[in-house]
Structure 1
Amino acid sequence: MNTMTLWHISGWEFAALAFAALLVGFSKTAVSGANTVSLAIFAAVLPARASTGVLLPLLIAGDVLAVLTYRRHAHWPTLWRLFPAVAVGVVVGTLFLVWADDGVVRTSIGAILLLMAGVTLWRRRRTESVKSGDATHEPDAVTSRAGRMKARSYGVLGGFTTMVANAGGPVMSLYLLSAGFRKLGFLGTSAFFFLIVNVTKVPFSAGLGLIDGRSLLLDAALAVFVVPGALLGKWAVNRINQRLFEQLVIAATVVGGVQLLLR
């Protein structure tokens, strides 16, 4: 990775990255879809491959804040069921990054963003009847044979998308909501899920040269924006008009994905 490019960003570009870092914190404690906007901004400002390495430590910082906020609501049986399939997806994603150059990665991130926007739209149509509340139980559909197959499928896709583009959020959101998780159960389970998965990705990313001293210094400058984003999300989670916000997130994701495909 040509990390020197990280030091040639303009003031406006740093402001865009700071806003994306704030959205990282917000997405971890309120609306996970905001994270797709963050990765689109990072991939647009920085080289596509480099952007995944710079974004990862910020995601981990947001994950820690989310775990501290919602740790009592995690459902561990669901997490243990997902992890083996996710590990397979992470390995496949790592092999893809070894092969792909920056142009292929940028195009892949754009395509993944558009796919995730479509998945989110489909998810919303399927879950509009789900009411907000706190339920950390595991539905019968998750414990059935079909449920286990669904967990494996979503796990592999989630592992691949999170390794290649840090875009596993919409995949896991779709899985948890389709499994019947309500707001607090969803937030607690996804918080632990992404903390563990993202920490596991660190040695893979470092081995690929996506994380080094220069990228970590940029992360240190941006991490301060993750905290207010997380606090804002915690405050807004019971107040936000989520339907309107998700519409804006989807629109921004589509614009970001198309922009990356056309670069």
Structure 2
Amino acid sequence: MDAFLGLSPLALAFMALVVFASAFMRGYSGFGYPVLVVAAGAFVTNPLALVPMAVLGDLVLCLQHGRAAWPDIHWPTAWRLSLGALLGLLPGLLILPHVDEATARIAISGIVLLASLVMLRGWVLPPGAGKGATLGMGVVSGLVAPAGVAGPPAVMVTAALGLSPLVFRATLLAYFVLLDGMTFVQFGLAGKIDTAVLIATAASVPFVVIGSWWGARLAVGADPARFRRITIGVLMAMAAIGLIRALV
């Protein structure tokens, strides 16, 4: 994890801005912190090196907003996603060490872009398909969680359930608490949580807390259509940036 300590002052300033903006969007939309940090941070370092810090930062965000979100959580959806993620997480961790940096950039960006395009088309699950689809996308989410892109599959299927913005945000928050906890344990057992990760996470906390607080304030009473357009637009922008970075 020397990448954190080896960044130039300009790169560190860029990462501070990335963390703040990602936390703002997480507070506003209810998702996106890890994938935004990893996708944008790929400009200055190996994106895989950022994943443990992003997961820990996301856990801080979940705890910050947990009490307010509790009454609006749709627990059946959160539990199905979590069960699926539990099944997919271990294979994902076994695959991750064998993926090179360029491939990781392309895969991360491709997953984000695909999920964004599906959401943009307004995909809605047919009646009766929600349970199986939610469990299945939970497996996909867990499989790609070690690369920092667990959010898009979960967001895509949750958006297709037609939940209100508040329930959508709260349900994803509950899922990410469970997923981040499982991922943190797995990273710890794999030796990926070291001093550099903890220092980077601690340094990011003020930006995380303030950015997400501001985003959550603006989300109150947000127009559902505008809310959806903004969140999808941010994900698509990050996916495009990641692909350009990987291919140029």
**Partner in structure 2 of residue 134 of structure 1:** none
Equivalent residues in 2 for 1:111-130, closer than 5 Å:
111-126=107-122
| Larger mean Cα displacement after TM superposition, 59-68 or 35-44 | 35-44
Structure 1 residues 116 and 245: alpha-carbon distance in aligned structure 2, compared to 1, 3 A threshold? closer
- Cα deviation, 1:189-225, whole Å, max 9, x if unaligned, reads 1111001110111121123332111210111111110
Relative to structure 1, is the Cα distance of residues 233 and 60 closer, same or farther in structure 2, using a 3 angstrom cutoff?
same
Partners of 2:92 and 2:52 in 1: CA distance? 14
Q: 1:60 to 1:121 in 2, by over 3 A?
A: same
Structure 1 residue 44: deviation in Å? 3.2
Q: Equivalents in 1 of 2:94, 2:189: separation in Å?
A: 12
**Residue 257, structure 1, aligned to residue 243, structure 2:** yes
Aligned residues: 243
Is this contact kept in 1: 2:134–2:158, CA < 8 A? no
Q: Is the 8 A contact 2:52 2:197 kept in 1?
A: yes
TM-score (norm: length of structure 2): 0.87
Task: Summarize the alignment of residues 1-263 of structure 1 with structure 2, pairs less than 5 Å apart.
Answer: 3-31=1-29, 32-33=31-32, 35-98=34-97, 100-101=98-99, 104-126=100-122, 141=127, 144=128, 146-163=129-146, 165-237=147-219, 238-239=221-222, 241-242=226-227, 243-244=229-230, 246-259=232-245, 261-262=246-247
Equivalent residues of 2:72, 2:167 under 8 A apart = yes
User: Any unmatched runs of 5+ in structure 1?
Assistant: 131-138
Which amino acid counterpart does residue 107 of structure 1 have in structure 2?
T
| Native 8 Å contact 1:54 1:210 kept in 2 | no
- What root-mean-square deviation, in Å, do the aligned CA atoms of Structure 1 and Structure 2 show? 2.4
Give the AA of the match of 2:83: P
User: 1:59-90, CA deviations, whole angstroms, 9 ceiling, x for partnerless residues?
Assistant: 11112123233121101122222222111111
Find the aligned partners of 2:234 and 2:26 in 1 and give their Cα distance: 17
Cross-structure match for 1:135 = none
TM-score of the aligned structures, taking structure 1 as reference length: 0.82
CA gap of 1:35–1:95, structure 2 versus 1, over 3 A, is closer
CA distance in 2, matches of 1:120, 1:140: 19
**CA displacement, residues 83-136 of structure 1 (integer Å, 9 cap, x when unaligned):** 2211111111111124x15xx254224323223212212212115xx9xxxxxx
Amino acid paired to 1:5: A
Unaligned runs of 5+ in 2: none
Letter in 2 for 1:170: P
* Aligned-residue offset at 1:5: 2.9
